Amino acid sequence: MKWFRGQHKAKDGEFLTGQEEFNELKGISFKEFLHGRFLAGKELGRHWGFMTFIVFLAFLYIGNRYQTEHLLERQADLMKELKELKYEAITTSSELMNMSKQSEVMDRVHRAGIDLEVLKTPPRILKVEKLDE
């Protein structure tokens, strides 16, 4: 006996077409569907491997979705932290620029009690000749 595409062996040895097999499954009541009795039938018994594979793929899909959501939350947290650090760097930079002003430096020197004064004349360049040894 040859097996043709879309035909399956019936209980009495004859072949069923896809339409006939569908009509057998069509007779399942909603109550039988809810109880899961249709899964115990002979028609679906040969498809357990495929159904197990589909369930496995569903678990992979759900796990992948949760992992992606977790990574997106982590990315949002890191972007928020980066923004805060950027603002802190700008604030620190402006404070440092303010502290390096000549007037601010002189205020700090006088508060520290160091006896330094601002130059009244511009600095001069000293030229020193090297002595031969």
DSSP, res 68: H
Encode the chain (133 residues) as per-residue pLDDT tens digits. Answer: 444 444 445 455 566 566 666 666 666 677 777 777 666 666 666 777 888 899 999 999 999 999 999 999 999 999 999 999 999 999 999 999 988 888 888 888 889 988 888 888 888 898 888 887 6
And the tokens for 46? Answer: 């040969």
Domain locations along the chain? 1-46, 48-115
| Residue 48 φ/ψ, nearest 5 degrees | -60, -40
Residues belonging to the chain:
133
And the tokens for 14? Answer: 């004859």
And the tokens for 103? Answer: 């007037």
Q: Is the pTM of this model over 0.85?
A: no
- What is the spatial distance between Cα 47 and Cα 39, in angstroms, rounded to a whole number? 10
- Asked if 6 and 18 touch (Cβ cutoff 8 Å), the reply is yes
